[in-house]
Amino acid sequence: MHISALYTYPVKGCRRLAHDAAVTEPWGLAGDRRWMAIDADGVGITQRQAPALTRLRAVPRPGGLSLNGVDVAEPVDGPKATIRVFSSRPPLTARLADPAQELLTELLGRPARLAWLADPTVRPIARNARDSDRVSFADGFPVLLVNEASHIALDAGVPIVNFRPNVVVSGGAAWEEDSWVGGRIRLGEVTFRVAEGCNRCVVSTIDQETGERGREPLRTLGRVRRVDGRLLFGVNLIPEELPGETHVIRAGETVLRLS
């Protein structure tokens, strides 16, 4: 089994970026979901509420990023704001990038501002993790892995990108990843703990090219992958401690189950 694709999402909910290689940090792949659109109450806006985020193209650059051609610098001295990734989650502090406000409000059709997670060490993982584990603005875990063989076996009629993976693996058996939960795997030279299967939400039904909603894959998942009330596809990963040097995973590298 090997890594066949790598993706990041610089702004939570935005269009994917494909990579040949990605630096792995304790809170996820470098540049993945360090930015997030927030509403007037300081709560994150995702594709659940705003499928138009599929039209947001975020391209990182040193010290900032381009949003649909609008340059936005990291607001290192920008105003601080207390925000929540979800209304039910604990608050955290981020900085606001005001140059993006007009663009996001127009794109999403609702008042919106852009928040930057200046300090990625502040958000703990909610469950199945160690006290020291951290995550960016991702829903719950630093890295999401999906198996191409499982996607083929599911046969739900949607592209694999609908599942918003960070890592796609190929060359193994369908649903092989289920047996990894609670253990450890190695992607290239980087080791990850496999925290749990990923419970899928309505975002997986959104066409990532057009923003249109459908019924799949949730209808098929409900029939064949319902476990304890959860619709499972893919597995959530937590990087092992990454001291010192830069840790990179690359497309084509081997996937190895350790325990």
Residue range 218-227, pLDDT digits in tens: 999 999 999 9
CA distance 58 to 71: 10
- pLDDT value of residue 243: 75
Domains of the chain by start residue, with CATH? 2-28+125-257 (2.40.33.20), 31-116 (no CATH)
C-alpha separations of 219 from 73, 200, 201 in Å: 41, 11, 11
What is the per-residue pLDDT for 242?
A: 78
Flag whether pLDDT at 241 surpasses 90: no
Per the confidence metrics, is the pTM higher than 0.85?
yes
The token duo for 229 is 């009330």
pLDDT of 244 above 80? no
pLDDT digits (tens, 9 = 90+) for 40-88: 999 999 999 999 999 999 999 999 999 999 999 999 999 999 999 999 9
Answer whether residue 254 shows pLDDT above 80.
yes
Contacts of 151 (CB under 8 A, 6+ apart): 160, 163
Count of CB atoms situated within 10 Å of the CB of 182:
11
H helix or E strand, kind and range, residue 6:
strand 2-8
Rounded distance, CA 35 to CA 110, Å?
A: 18
pLDDT at 71: 96
pLDDT score recorded for residue 85: 97
The model's confidence at residue 216, banded by pLDDT at 50, 70 and 90, is very high
Question: What is the average per-residue pLDDT within 244-253?
Answer: 92
Task: List the one residue out of 143, 156, 241, 151 whose CA is nearest residue 198.
Answer: 143
pLDDT of residue 149: 98
pLDDT value for 39 = 97
Q: What is the reported pLDDT for 191?
A: 97
Q: How far apart are CA 248 and CA 234, in angstroms?
A: 21
pLDDT at residue 31, as a whole number: 96
Q: pLDDT-based confidence at 259, cuts 50/70/90?
A: confident
DSSP bridge pairs for 68? none
Q: How many residues does the chain have?
A: 259
- Asked whether the beta carbons of 27 and 120 are under 8 A apart, the reply is yes
- Distance of alpha carbon 24 from alpha carbon 32, whole angstroms: 10
Of the chain, the percentage scoring pLDDT greater than 90 comes to 97
Tokens representing 204? 């997986």
Residues 6+ apart with CB under 8 A from 12: 33, 35, 36, 37, 44, 46, 85, 137, 138
Q: Distance between CA atoms of 165 and 6, rounded to whole angstroms?
A: 8
Mean pLDDT of 119-138: 95
